[in-house]
Chains A and B, each alone.
Chain A
Amino acid sequence: MARLSLRGIKKRFKAVEVLHGIDLDVNDRELIVFVGPSGCGKSTLLRLIAGLDQITDGEFLLNDKRMNEVAPSRRGIAMVFQSYALYPHMNVYENMAFGARLMGLSKPEVEARIAEATRMLRLEALLERKPRELSGGQRQRVAIGRALVRKPQLLLLDEPLSNLDAALRSEVRLEIARLHREIGGTTIYVTHDQVEAMTLADRIVVMNGGRIEQFGSPRELYETPANTFVANFIGSPRMAMLGVEREGDRLIAPGIGAISLTRLPSAADREFLMGVRPDGMSISSDMQGEGFAAQVVYTEYLGDSAYVYVKMGEGAPVSIRCTPDTQYAPDMPVKIRVLPDKLHFFSSKTSQRLAV
């Protein structure tokens, strides 16, 4: 059982404010991912929840109990660190037993918990080893085991995959998802990788510059990003963003073409931003009809699909997902057509999403 509630959390390091008032409510048994570019405050927020740093202002409630002044070890929270932070002078068993013994558990209880964690994480063969005799993936599992032995209400994971090689990463990612289901507690996971966030999370907190940009399920974030930051951050390759002008039921992108749409943003702005993901566009060499003029830059061939990068006007190259069998040579002029129901509109003044 762990319901988490952050109310107006602020953090200042001397004169610098790094979190500007975070409000967040997390339900029991949720797997929440904090995601954002480096320096956005996601790790700081995690450290505040853990109690490793003091909250400057605001309130942190765990199951409706104020936690601001509670020592980290008494919050019922366990944390897996980016570097794993295993105790180098203890073997795997001792690493797991250390915290459990400090909780004042009886000897059989400590042993039972270690046995359970050992089984779940397949550590049987490693119990006698010292951390330096383990591979990165094994250390990771021990670090998780050490956290699980304490049976925390809330499990915090700080960029747990960043020190693993690419092959191990997806494997451990699955493992973490499985463990979360098996343990049934609340988990908060910090990463800068939006793919990790999308694949793992029940709900994602997208952070930027010490603020929450959006909080929602992966589907919500992908399909209805709240602003241009989330639109750009979630989804790979990133969403194309075009400045457009409204003229009746037509949208004109200066210099590259115009399209007619039946559904346009209800807001009164004449100029705004139109965003469209790689799968919301089609490309063809047939230059007739409506669409945007573009020039092929290069093609990324991925086997089951291909991404064609094109230049539309002055902006950065835009990527379009298409079937792998069509081929487009660099510098070739092409026509880009958009799927009307896959369009996103944002205010060019506030960057916020405009409702259709």
Chain B
Amino acid sequence: MISSQLTGRRLWIAALVVPPIAFMCLFLVYPILSAFAYAFYEWHGLARGDFIWFDNFHRVLFEFPFSERTINAFKHNIFVFFALMVLQNGLGFILAYCLWRELWGARFHRIAVFLPVVLSTVIVGLLWKLFYHPLFGAVNATLRAVGLGSLAQPWLGQDSTALTAIVVANAWHMVGFPTLVFLAGMQRIPSEILDAVRMETESEWVKMSKIVWPLVAPSATVVFTLLFVGAFNWFELPFIMGGVDGSPHGATDVLGLYFYRTAFGSTSASAENFGPGSALAVLIFLFIAVVSSVITIRLRKREIQL
């Protein structure tokens, strides 16, 4: 009787576990492994040539013109990561703190802050492209209206501002996510701990930096890691707002775009370099996997059980 129950239970577990695992293997593990394999071959269009060891990796990392573009794109990814860390996660933490302290209008803003997150990236990209339009975009119009017309400029059309402009659009789009995660973390803090701090200081800054911030460490781990992965996989928004070439002049080029151009060609250069493209994909994957594991392990250590 017991054994038949056990087999029944096992059957159930198998029925529930096997389909997702099969799905993952087919659409996740297999493509990753094949990309690993492709990276070691020479490609003529989509026809596979000889096994060439690490030549593809050597080309994207050290040979002109690949290496220059790889490094350019990688630098941009690093900039995006740090800029979003400040703009998106930093602002998210402050917004969460304000919502949590129930400042005036908190109920309205709790929804307003999260609303853009549910918008599709394509819509956000097109919307902000309009906002940044040099002649009739909302940004320049606002600047002119408040008498700062001298600051109006083609935000997406010049090297110096294009990447930052896209970062700002991304922060506007996604700031609700870290806000929500931080807010959830703050709501887990027992109210008596807060009362205890209030007995010892009235400084909002001390409360925020010495008590709340350390106690939301688990939330910080989540948003930091996800931001890291997101920043180095960044593709949709620069693709829509800067184009596949990272216009202007590669000022918005990032690893995701560069990989896509290399592997599948672009409007300006139709050449497909499937081998170097695969090598890039593998490098990006390894970089993200290794660094995000290190980040997660290190951040986990500073988490405290409440």
Contact = CB atoms under 8 A, between A and B. Distances in A.
Interface in A12-56: 47, 50-52
Given A77-B199, A102-B200, A85 B190 contact: yes
A79 B210 CA distance: 19
Contact of B192 (A73, A85, A99, A132): A85
A73 B197 CA distance: 9
A52 B191 CA distance: 11
A187 to B, nearest CB: 15
Contact of A83 (B190, B202, B206, B211): B190
Interface residues of B, number: 21
B4 interface: no
Interface string A176-208: 000000000000000000000000000000000
B196 A79 contact: yes
A74 B193 contact: no
A89 B200 contact: no
Contacts, number: 60
B305 interface: yes
A89 B196 contact: no
Choose among A71, A79, A87 the residue with the greatest number of B CB atoms under 10 Å from its CB: A87
Contact of A73 (B193, B198, B211, B215): B198
Contacts of B200: 73, 98-99, 102, 150
Consensus secondary structure, chain B interface: helix
A88 interface: yes
B211 to A, nearest CB: 6
B197 to A, nearest CB: 8
B215 A89 contact: yes
Chain A interface residue number, banded: 20 to 34
B50 interface: no
A78 interface: yes
Contacts of A51: 198
Interface of B: 190, 192-193, 195-203, 206, 210-211, 214-215, 217, 304-306
The 7 A-B pairs at the shortest CB distance, nearest first, are namely A99-B200, A85-B192, A85-B196, A71-B202, A89-B214, A89-B304, A81-B192
Given A50-B195, A79-B196, A89-B217, 11 more contacts: A73-B199, A73-B202, A77-B199, A81-B196, A85-B195, A87-B193, A87-B197, A87-B211, A88-B305, A89-B304, A102-B200
11 contacts: A50-B199, A52-B195, A81-B195, A85-B193, A85-B195, A86-B196, A87-B211, A89-B215, A99-B199, A99-B201, A132-B305
